[in-house]
Structure 1
Amino acid sequence: MFLGNGDMGAMFWGRGAPFKVTLDKMDFWEERCAPEGQFGESHTWEDMKRLVKSGDFLGLREKYEFYMGGSGDDAMPLQPTRLPVPRLEIAFRESFSGIDAELDIEHGIISGYLYTGNPGPREPDTVEFRGFLDATKNLLILEFRAINFLKGFIPSSLNSSPVIDPLCIPVVSASYAHLDNRALRTLKAWDYPSLIPIQGPIPGVHDAIYQGVYQEVPGNQGGLLVAWMVIEVDGWVRIGCTVLSAGNLPRENLEAGRLLESLEHEARKILTRGSTDSWTSIIKHHEAFWNEYWSKARISIPDNILENLYYVELYKLACNSRQGSPPCSLQGIWTIDGQMPPWNGDYHLDMNIQETYWPVFVNNRLSLVEPLFSMMDDLVPIFRKRCKEFYGCDGIWTSCSISLRGANLHGYYNTEAWPGNGAWTAHMYWLYYLYTRDEKFLAESAFPFMKGVMQLYEHVLERNKHGEWHVPLSSSPEYHEHHLQAWGSNPTCDIALIRWLLEALLESASILAGKSGDGGASGNSVDDGEIGSNTTRWKEYLEDLVYFPADMEGFQVLEGVPYGYSHRHMTHLFPIHPFHLITIEGDRDDQYLVTSSLKHLRKIGNWEWVGWTLPWLSMMASWINNRWLAAKYARDYLLYINENTMHVNGDPRGIGICTHVYEPMTLEAGFTFAAAIPELLLKSWGGIIRLFESCPASWHDACFENLRAEGAFLVSAALSNGHVAWVKVQSEKGIPCTIKNTFGEPMVVRNSSSFGKVCIIEGNEELFTFETVPGETYTILPAREDPGTINFDFHHVPPLFNGRAWFGKQACNRNPYLP
């Protein structure tokens, strides 16, 4: 079971002997790097190209790849990485033999029972527990009580004689005893000192004390405090725990040499607030957060197993990304227990960060992506400096794998050098604008960032012998891994990124022309003179840009290099998704490219796919209106998750879904699943709203409320017996609304304030557009229906399967989609 608030995380597991809580902190990082892992003046793009052209594979790896591992139990070389947090363990008088627990994702609460005998709440020596991690502050609350045998209360001083079965009185500790040899040797080799125990009184609470451990991070990088207290409240034994770092302190409290003192002061304040209030009082703000979060949008589909996982993934996303906290990394705030995190727990910009935040747009959870923009904007000066040093030009170069503070983690040298990492990240800025029409955000953040990454591509582009702009040397992320075969000209992904960037920049320039504004973190201001000169140059690039490399089997990976073996990355299909440059709604050539590419992909097979490939392909299948394939890929994703819904990338159970047998957990796949499911109900690419177009044919009924569409529209709709029953569209910005006509009969658009007719949609119109007013809601109904008789409220549709919760040890036994 897992809880989180974007900054602090907690995973609960074990049988209660002891009760284990794996703690995590999103900003707890090692940012140093050994000298051999740092780039110098000789590390440049020109030098890398020279080594590639000379075929010096070993030279490339030796110079540009920093070996992150260490064999067996050996310590890792010093490098940026997420750090493990001391694990909290709660021991009781008895050694429990079983646990029955539940995670309530609607309210972010765990609850259950610990047993010494056979499971059952009427057994002697049964302990009930409940807990939550506060959504508004770093405070974990766990409460325990012996049920049915309560004979009094626990005195506020646990040192005095209890008048209740002492089964409930815990011994709490936190340490690194759970770490494996490799992690322990790594921390020792990096000069991490031992944990410092702390203890002190809780102000204002008689006889109450707090305890904790402090980990200093060498190199003047700060430290981390885990502190807890144990007290009786209303017949329950309450454990309050907080995890704090320098990021939780006001800047004025970060005086040299006083970090621990400041962290203890902050911990005392948090624990005091959590020490005496009743459960109802202390959980009030936490529940208010979750109530507001779930009110943003919701769906109901017949496949209640997919629906259940959809809501679980939205819950996990909110646990891992909040305003004011760092963005979600590979494992978020649930790093693996007892080990150094896979892939250093970093930020991968060649797919993972994009998949992580795709669901925020259609699901109308826009605030969750703001930590990403905040981090990237803050790092722009580092990206510009790095671009100047490595590429020798102005612009933004992010590399692929970065730490929280922008340090470069040197993985595959070609993927790290790929200019598309920053460009694909820039697409997230553009999506935010498309879904909000926030021109201030466009001027201050999106436009400057897109312009910066285009500057790098302008440096890379050259004229070919036909006079076309092309990319003479690049690679497609991780295709052929880091081998020399990975290199070539005109990767489809690069050409797609450049074409999208140019089109988006030209559209942005048209929107922003004549409007002055701050240029944002990039240091560029938006003024008419600059826009004019850039526009002329961007149009020239767009007009003369080489076309996507393709053959009779669809898009190639590189020019002259077809998609020749199964691979996890789908970047050669960028023109289809996520950039919709070539669509199924285009001309016959476009349709052929789309269908042949997907056909060839299936022909090559899925043996080298991983878990996150499936929901991405489900979205792609939705976009080409292949509803059967979209549903299949969504269901197949469930083969890549554990019983607790965590994505394991490979096939450790050996059921034949792919050749990878590893099982490192990463979060992006589940989050993309949470984007793929609503895409079956609503799509809006290209500024056109499409309703239920990709809905599986077997779903005769479905309903959704306040899904977000491009153009800043909130859309609600119901499908009944295979036909659209009603649609509501709320316009935030008052721009014209265009909807694809999939109704099959004449419809009437009315404004909801007066039910006055706005327009009538004839049955044979392919598209229809109507004007909107900011803040107004419009209804769309069959012309034969009287609007006064229609219930426009969200409703749940009949489920396909009997049951409510489909994941977890017991529930998985009933899940027909799982092996």
Structure 2
Amino acid sequence: MLVKTTVDWPSFMARHDLTWSVKPISWDEGAFIGNGVIGAMIYSEEHRDKRHVLRFVLGRTDVTAQKPGGGFPPRVPVGELHLELTGWYYQPSSIRIDLWNAEMRAEITTTVGTVNVRAFVHSEEAVLAVELETSESEKDARMTWYAFSEVDPVLKNADGINLNQYIPKAEVVRQTAADELTVGVQKFDYEGGCTTAWTESQAPSSPYLRRLWLSIENGFDEQVQRKVEANVREAAKQPWETWVEAHRSWWHQYYRQSFVSIPDTMLEGFYWIQMYKLASATRSDGMIMDNQGPWLTTTPWAGVWFNMNVQMSYSPVYTSGRLEIGESLVRAFRDNMEQLIRNVPEKYREDSAGLGRSMSYDLAGEVGTEVGNLTWVCHNLWRQYRHTMENALLEKLLFPLLKRSVQYYLHLLERGDDGRLHLPPMISPEYGSFLQLTVPDTHYDLALLRWGCQTLLRMCDILGIQDASQSRWEETLEQLTPLPVDETGFMIGAGQPLEFGHRHFSHLMAVFPLHLLSGDSPEERELILRSLRHWFLREGDLRGFTFTGAASIAAAVGEGDEALKYLRALMHLIKPNTMYKEAGPVIESPLAGAEAIHDMLLQSWGEEIRVFPAVPSEWKEAVFHHLRAEGAFEVSAVRSEGTTAWIRVKSLAGQPCRIKTDMRGVIRMSASAAVQLRALGGGVYELELPQGEEAVLYSADHPAAAGRAWAIEPVPAQSHLCGYFGGRKPWRLYGLPIQ
């Protein structure tokens, strides 16, 4: 290793623990834990009859229920674990999500005593654990599980009622085994159900220390019951500290996959909480990240949405190098290819496939006039490939899937009087939804079709194959009508300018995320910025993901100061615990915010790896380590005193490598004799970097590179912004003397 890492991980992550000094009383500010399948949102309630309760609102991502009127089976709530205290949950209170160890710890003061709580969902087992230590006066505090149908209406009403959400009626049966393990079985009306098992024991070391293990499984038959019972029994019989250490070890390895530190401590903390959220929401063998992850609550969107939500939720996976999370998306599409074919009209099924807007995990959603959703998912899968360079993914899934997605578009193309190929009226996602507006030649669809044809041709070169459709893809690229543009910039579609507020960047897809336009020429750059700024002039419907998309677009053309403004605006829209909510909770906007931070630090679309391409002028220092670039490169870099000091690149696949940097003065390289460096001009350097080799490029004139002291260490923190998220603390922003 040419680079030394000196990160004190426990201390660094503790900077950004979510913290509460006042008890949380809603989903918006709850403490959340999860292992990609099971999750809990933890908060209390102010109603006088429930002030003694700390709620663990449980969720399991694969629990769905069939609705009597048809439609896709939505996610449904499973129940709650309540810590029922002897006294009222009062102040002072201290709650912390220990990010490094992925556990919640609380010190609760009640009107009669104290209770210390520790909780986590085990990283490798489907088990929630709660440890409870009480004072003598709180020794009668108890933990009780309630099926959702048995949760007190006071608490359900506190969470809000959404009449669009389907909640099945459930038959609940409890039974207790001889070893004090209790099982609760829920059978839903029509179809579906879930089974919960739990057991509690007193620790031998103290009469006031108890532990509870709880597991949930989808389904209700005897086989499921045996499985959920085994989950609990196996966990409970293991030595506690050994079991806890196994949980922590997984998380410690996960965090170390890459490192980011920036001088904006609030955004740095926000970033690391999103990394925690990613692995809490899904795993390589988990379900697709839907709109909420395992933290289901009142929502009209209890399913999977593909006109933006899923694609943006997965966006930070690639550059962060946390590619095993992306495997959940890969697996879902690999396993449901036949359903994707059934989603298109029967006459096109021989060679086409598609994806509707919303559905359940089986991906059963007919394609209507919103056509591009599957092609956009293919862009995510392409990023998964480009960051791993695993040809099996290309050959076995992405090429046949993208070919079918593009072929559906080709069936719909029509030749116009101008001799060009045109698309019929379609939906540009989120624009004019209240009007049921369809527009010919939408930017969204033209951009996705163009990207799809270009990428299929590129795949043929990579795989060394000749495909019968190649000439059709080439013809489409030559004859496809250009993206509609007017004096304000990119239009929604032909004849449809951006006339009112538009929260989606569907009319800017060619810029981001597809990067069909680089902005390298003055004309392209001007068009991109004109379009971006006109978009924000129409401020009637700006949402969280509006600002993340805008930040990534600004970053794509090197406007770091502007990107930072969009991200700081996002901080006012997310909830105190970094969750996000509109009519219902959706997790994609905060996750996409992490991707926007990546885009400011490292970009690798096109043919170049751009290091610190859009760093705000106020970020004089910045550090990242082992971020992943297209071509399967691990990249590390340090920015100091306002310029790049050094860059380290390691090739995992032996691909061609070009680096673009703002390093000044004489650029030197440290590497083995197998590595060659050529300067191409304009800050671009070409590396001949065989697979497994690494190189450090450094500025001979930069003090931070002097003596080849290439070390990765955190940027100093702004102490008043450490632990900013969790409970609401806006006063931390203004330098008030808070301890």
Taking structure 2 as the reference length, the TM-score comes to 0.89
Alignment equivalent of 1:342, drawn from 285, 295, 300: 300
Pair 1:562 & 2:497 matched: yes
| Distance verdict in 2 for CA 1:812–1:213, change over 3 Å | farther
2:405 paired with 1:453: yes
In structure 2, which of residues 189, 202, 210 is the aligned counterpart of residue 232 of structure 1? Answer: 202
SS in 1 for 2:55: strand
- Any residues of structure 2 matched to 1:531-542 within 5 Å, and which? 531-542=466-477
Q: State the SS of the aligned residue for 1:559.
A: coil
Tell me the amino acid that sits aligned with residue 449 of structure 2: I
Matches within 5 A, 1:171-320: 171-175=143-147, 176=149, 177-178=151-152, 180=156, 192-202=169-179, 209-219=180-190, 221-233=191-203, 234-235=205-206, 236-246=209-219, 259-320=220-281
Tell whether 2:454 aligns with 1:503. Answer: yes
1:355 aligns with 2:332: no
After superposition, what is the alpha-carbon deviation per residue over 1:655-685, rounded to whole angstroms, capped at 9, x for unaligned? xxxxxxx5x2210001001111122111111
User: Once the 2 structures are TM-superposed, how far is the Cα of residue 583 of structure 1 from its aligned partner?
Assistant: 2.2
* In structure 1, distance between residues paired with 2:482 and 2:415: 13
Query: Larger deviation: 788-797 or 700-709?
Result: 788-797
* CA drift at 1:276: 4.4
The 3 A distance-change label for structure 1 pair 771 and 178 is farther
| Whole-angstrom distance in 2 between the partners of 1:293 and 1:555 | 40
- In structure 1, the partner of 2:420 is 468
**1-structure distance, mates of 2:419, 2:41:** 58
Q: Distance in 1 between matches of 2:201 and 2:347?
A: 57
Question: Does the 8 A contact of 1:321 with 1:369 survive in 2?
Answer: no
| Structure 1 residues 816 and 493: alpha-carbon distance in aligned structure 2, compared to 1, 3 A threshold | farther
Whether contact under 8 Å (2:66, 2:192) holds in the other structure is: no
Q: Is the 2:284–2:328 contact (alpha carbons within 8 Å) kept by the matching residues of 1?
A: yes
> Is the 2:90–2:109 contact (alpha carbons within 8 Å) kept by the matching residues of 1?
yes
SS in 2 for 1:488: coil
Please say if residues 361 and 431 of structure 1, whose CA atoms lie closer than 8 Å, have aligned partners that are also in contact. yes
Aligned residue for 2:469, secondary structure, equals helix
Q: Is the 8 A contact 1:749 1:757 kept in 2?
A: no
Distance in 1, Cα, partners of 2:243 & 2:613: 45
Question: Which letter does structure 1 place at the counterpart of 2:534?
Answer: H
Consecutive unaligned residues of structure 1, counting only runs of 5 or more, are: 38-78, 118-123, 148-163, 203-208, 247-258, 514-527, 650-661
- Deviation of 1:171 (Å): 4.5
User: Which aligned pairs between 1:462-611 and structure 2 lie closer than 5 A?
Assistant: 462-483=414-435, 486-513=437-464, 528=465, 531-585=466-520, 587-604=521-538, 606-611=539-544
Q: Aligned partners of 1:627 and 1:188: how far apart in 2?
A: 44
User: Is the partner of 1:494 in helix, strand or coil?
Assistant: helix
Task: Give the superposition deviation at 1:274.
Answer: 2.7
- Alignment match, 1:205: none
> CA offset at residue 432 of structure 1?
1.3
Decide whether aligned partners of structure 1 residues 168 and 725 sit closer, same or farther in structure 2, where only a CA change above 3 A counts.
farther
AA aligned to 2:37 is D
Residue deviations 1:599-633 (CA, integer Å, cap 9, x gap): 322333x2211112111211111001111110000
**Are positions 1:128 and 2:116 aligned together?**
yes
- How far apart are the structure 1 equivalents of 2:370 and 2:35? 33
- The verdict on how the C-alpha distance between 1:168 and 1:678 changes in structure 2, with shifts beyond 3 A counting, is farther
Q: Distance in 1 between matches of 2:161 and 2:187?
A: 16
CA–CA distance in structure 1, aligned partners of residues 163 and 186 of structure 2: 16
CA distance in 2, matches of 1:463, 1:393: 23
| Aligned CA distance change for structure 1 residues 377 and 141 (closer, same or farther; 3 Å) | same
Q: What SS does the corresponding residue of 1:81 show, helix, strand or coil?
A: coil
| C-alpha distance 400-171 of structure 1, shift in aligned 2 (>3 A) | closer
Deviation at 1:416, TM superposition (A): 4.5
Aligned-partner Cα distance in 1 for 2:632–2:185:
47
Q: In the alignment, what sits opposite 1:523?
A: none
Partner of 2:647: 727
Q: Match of 1:195, as an amino acid?
A: V
Tell me whether 1:34 sits opposite 2:69 in the alignment: yes
AA aligned to 1:140 is L
Shift in CA distance, 166/696, structure 1 to aligned 2, threshold 3 Å: closer
> How many Å separate the matches in 2 of 1:578 and 1:817?
37
Cα distance, 1:588 vs structure 2: 3.7
Structure-1 separation of matches of 2:429 and 2:588: 17
Amino acid aligned to 1:85? V
- Residue 194 of structure 1: how far off its partner (Å): 2.1
Give the 3 Å change call, closer, same or farther, for CA 491–618 of structure 1 in structure 2. same
- Whether the 8 Å contact between 2:675 and 2:689 is mirrored in structure 1 is no
Q: Please state whether the residue corresponding to 1:680 is helix, strand or coil.
A: helix
Give the Å deviation of 1:492. Answer: 0.8
Partner of 2:78 in structure 1?
Answer: 85
- When residues 184 and 230 of structure 1 are mapped into structure 2, their CA distance, relative to the original with a 3 A threshold, is farther
Amino acid corresponding to residue 700 of structure 1 in structure 2:
K
Identify the structure with bigger relative contact order (alpha carbons < 8 Å, sequence gap 6+).
2
Tell me if structure 2 keeps the 8 A contact 1:227–1:267: yes
Deviations 1:157-206 (A, max 9, x none): xxxxxxx656255152313224658979999995x34211121133xxxx
Taking structure 1 as reference, are residues 376 and 218 closer, same or farther at Cα in structure 2, changes over 3 Å only? farther
- In the alignment, which residue of structure 1 is the partner of 2:34? 4
- Residues 816/29 of structure 1: CA separation in 2 closer, same or farther (3 Å cut): farther
Match of 1:679 among 596, 599, 604: 599
CA distance in 2, matches of 1:169, 1:552: 67
SS at 2:344 equivalent = helix
Letter of the 1:116 partner, please give it.
T
For 2:554 and 2:735, locate their aligned partners in 1 and report how far apart those are by CA, in whole Å: 20
User: 3-state SS of the aligned residue for 2:283?
Assistant: coil
Match 1:97 to one of 87, 90, 95: 90
* Stretch of structure 1 that moved more, 229-238 or 496-505: 229-238
Q: What SS is found at the alignment partner of 1:267?
A: helix
Deviation at 1:9, TM superposition (A): 0.8
Distance 1:635 1:796, change over 3 A: same
1:742 aligned partner, one-letter code: D
Whether 2:727 is the aligned partner of 1:750: answer no
Equivalent position SS for 1:451: helix
* Deviation at residue 217 of structure 1 after TM alignment: 3.1
Q: Distance in 2 between matches of 1:232 and 1:771?
A: 62
| Structure 1 residue 719: Cα displacement | 0.6
Q: Return the offset for 1:424.
A: 0.9
1:195-241, Cα deviation, whole Å (9 max, x unpaired): 11121133xxxxxx02232111344x442012211101233211111
Q: Do 2:183 and 2:229's aligned partners in 1 also have CA atoms closer than 8 Å? A: no
The separation in 2 between residues aligned to 1:405 and 1:31, in whole angstroms, is: 13
Q: Which has the larger radius of gyration?
A: 1
Q: TM-score, structure 1 length as denominator? A: 0.80
Contact kept in structure 2, 1:400 and 1:417, CA below 8 Å: no
Deviations along 1:86-130, one digit per CA (max 9) or x if unpaired, are 11212233333243211111111111212124xxxxxx7211111
Query: What amino acid sits opposite 1:680 in the alignment?
Result: M
Distance (whole Å) between structure 2 residues aligned to residue 188 and residue 559 of structure 1: 39
**Displacement of 1:558 after TM fit?**
1.0
Unaligned runs of 5+ in 2: 1-30, 46-50
CA contact (8 A) 1:4 1:319 kept: yes
What number of residue pairs does the alignment pair up? 690
- For residue 93 of structure 1, what is the amino acid of its counterpart? T
1:589 maps to a residue whose letter is: E
Aligned to 2:107: 113
TM-superposed CA distance for 1:695, in Å, is: 0.5
Aligned to 2:381: 429
Query: Partner residue of 1:253?
Result: none
- What secondary structure, in the 3-state scheme, does the structure 2 residue paired with 1:542 have? helix
Quick check: 682-691 or 497-506, which moved more? 682-691
Q: Distance in 2 between matches of 1:746 and 1:335?
A: 55
- Of the three residues 26, 31, 44, the one matched with 1:14 is 44
Q: CA deviation at 1:146?
A: 2.5
The answer to whether the 8 Å contact 2:53/2:82 transfers is yes
